[in-house]
Every structure is written in C-alpha cells, then in structure tokens.
Amino acid sequence: MFAGMVAVLLASSLVSVYPDTAALHAQVQAGTLLQNHGVIATCDVCDSEIVTEAQGSAAPMTTVVPVGYSASELAAAYHLPASGGVAGTVALVDGGGYPGFESDLAAYRSQFGLPACTVASGCLKVVDYQGGPPLHPDGTDEEKQLSLETALDAQMISAACPACKILLVQAPTRDFYLSSLHTATDAVPSIARAVSTAVAAGVSAVSMSFGYPSTKDINTGPMSTVFSHPGIAFVASSGDSGYHGNVHGYWPQNLPSVISAGGTALYQTSDGFASNAWSGAGSACETDLPPANGQPAAVAAVCGGHRASSDVSAVSDPATGVAVYDSYAAGGWYTVGGTSAAAPFIAALYARGGHLSRVDGPNTLYAAPAGAFSDVTLGQNAAAHGCQPTSLQLCVSGTGWDGPTGVGTPNGLAGF
C-alpha cells in the first residue's frame, strides 16, 4: 500500500530548496500550509502525517531550515516553564533500525537550544523490543520511512521535557505494515513485548504513536495486561482518521489503563496561541471495555457506559505541523502532524510533572485542578463520518470534554 509513496520519498537524497521558508512558517502559524501542499502517512499503523511538496504529491517537503513549529513555540503555546519539573525517563516504542537516530536528535536539540542528550551521557538509550542491542538497520524503504515516526517521537519528547532521559525500544519493521498475511493479531505480541521491556527499565512514561485494529482478543487478552502498571503513564495516539464510530476504537489507545492523546490545530494569534479540534483527530467508543480509569460517568455515558476517547490533546494538524529532523530517509527538515505528535509530547509532560505515583491511566487528568487544561471549544472531526446524533460530544468540540480533544490541551504542568 505504501510502497509507491515510500519509493518517491526516497528517490532523491537532495533537500528541496524553498526560497522563502519564513513564508511557509507563517502558513503553519495561520493553519494554511495545506492550501498548496498535501500529506502522506508514515506507515500502515502510524499516526503521523508528513507534509508534501504539493497537493497530490507523495514527495515530502524537506527544507534546509525548520518550517514547522519549534520547541520554543510549543513551550510557549502550552505555557511550559523554562526549567523545572522532574527529569523522568520516557520510552518510545517504534519500528525498525535507525542508524542516525542519535545524530538526528542532536541536530534537533542543537537547532532549538536544548541540552544535549547522548548515549555517552546516559541520557539516551536504544534497545530492541526484547531488551537486547539495537536492531541492525536493514536499509529497506519501509524502515527508512519509519525513522520519520521515531524522529518525531523523540523530538517531541525533547520539546516537552528537555531534561528527560529517552529510551527507544525498537520493534520489528514488519509489525508496522499489515496485510492479509500479517495482521494486527500477528503484530501486537512484539509491541506488547516492547512495552514490557520499557516497564522493566523503570521508565516514567511510555509513548506509542500507532493504532491497530482492535478485536476482543487483543482488547481483553494478555496483550493488554502489559499496561496494568499504576505509576507509569502509558500514552497512545488516538488516530488520524477522525471519528472511528461508537463500537470500537484502535488499540492500545482504547484501553482503560492507557491515556488517549487526541489532536488539535494550533494557531498563532496576536494574543498568543489558540487551538481548535483537528478534523483528523481520532475519537471513538470501545464497547468491549469499561470506562477509562478515572473517567467520569458523564463522559462514559456518551458511549453507553464504556470507554470513550480521547482523554487529552495537543498539536496534531499537519497544516500546523511541527519541525522534525531526519537524515535516514530523504534527509533534512520535515513538517509533520498527526496525533503521533501529541502522544510523545503528553507522555513527556507526565514524566516532567512528577506526580506519577497517583497515575493509573488517565485518572489524574479528570481530577486535575481548574485551569490545568485549556478547553477546546471549536472544531469537529466527523464531517465525513456522520457522528451519531445521540453522541455529538464524540465528534464536536464544546465546553468540557469532547472526543477529538478530551479535557483540552496542557496549560503548564499542573495537570501532570
């Protein structure tokens, strides 16, 4: 499915030259970038979208300087302190080998004035899904494409918590590309093993920027028990296809013990920043499962007393995308969106907030003090899907909780 798109992405190692990257950045701030550009997905199950050179093009827009939102802009948008908090450890579960991972992370952090995070210093560690040495890169187009997801995740962790340590847990590339011969049921065991590896390492939070089609066996079987560890924040992207329906959501964001990260568009205004629900942000009911841990009855009632997602949100709209540096694919600066940006950002805020002893799924989000989150009251994610009239909260943002954005976007660290 993605072979043609990947081939186009990797056909040239040259970075596209745009004469006015400042104008492109202004389009990001205004949310108009996609008027002249398109998007492509990173992999079958990834929740990241890469901005392309033109509408209908599969060639990513790569530049020699960043176009997407910077680390400092994200900190300003979510009122994060310049320093402070707890320097926890965030694990990211991603796919495939990535030979330039450390140097690409260094390029991002240097560009935006963040402290170095290296293997030698103990800040950065890379293991495979079983806890062994990093996966050996195989050089396939699919693996190179997956490096963009990994780069996005690590760089969003860096933006949200510059002092946090980072653990990259690499699962096999094949488990991020599904087919009739390799289904979600086949892929999920290695993902669950990767999560267990992260837990055994003593991390503060686990970021998962992917979603697999859910089944009752996956939702309630042993593959989901690996998330039953109070004191660790498990954060997963809610999806990039809008309203999923009122029966099933994607795994693992649908689990009661996992925090579902929804998505917004992020606009820069004369007064600062403003967020609307992103039309692609995932929301759903999961009728196989009870409400999320700590989810109020009024929220669960939207799904007939079952798990309703999402729980919280951050920037995800590729039209207002973030800057990502990657050298393994075509090379250069990319502009990327999707709820894959929100999940690692939120996971890092949990690690920085320092109140993990009370965390059990999204429970503390729903018990947070007034003002801990900025309510998102505009936008919807169901224009093409037709939200059920009895559960409009699943699709349409308004006062209080809604499906696309949960309780809202972070307003500092008080909610974490």
Q: Which pLDDT tens digit goes with each residue over 357-374?
A: 999 999 999 999 999 999
Average pLDDT score over residue span 68-85: 95
Q: What is the pLDDT of residues 7-64, one digit of tens each?
A: 444 444 445 556 689 999 999 999 999 999 999 999 999 999 999 999 999 999 999 9
Mean local confidence (pLDDT), 181-198: 96
Distance separating alpha carbons of residues 233 and 346, to the nearest angstrom: 9
Torsion of CA 18, 21, 24, 26, to 10 degrees: -160
| pLDDT of 380 strictly over 90 | yes
CATH class of the domain defined by 3-408: alpha beta
CA-based nearest residue to 406, from 416, 393, 392, 415: 393
* pLDDT single digits (tens) 296-330: 999 999 999 999 999 999 999 999 999 999 999 88
pTM: 0.95
Asked if pLDDT for residue 140 goes beyond 90, the answer is: yes
Residue matched to tokens 């009370």 = 358
Pairing of strands 205-208, 233-237: parallel
248 or 73: which leads in pLDDT: 73
Q: Within 13 Å, how many C-alpha atoms sit on residue 54's CB side?
A: 3
Radius of gyration of the chain (CA): 19
pLDDT value at 257 more than 50? yes
271 has pLDDT over 80: yes
CA angle 30, 281, 251 (to 5 degrees): 150
Provide the mean pLDDT of the chain.
93
Domain ranges of the chain: 3-408
Largest distance between two CA atoms of the chain = 55
Structure tokens at 18: 């745009």
**Range from 14-28, 221-235, 239-253, 257-271 carrying the lowest mean pLDDT:** 14-28
Question: What CA–CA distance (Å, rounded) separates 416 from 414?
Answer: 6
Position 8 scores a pLDDT of 46
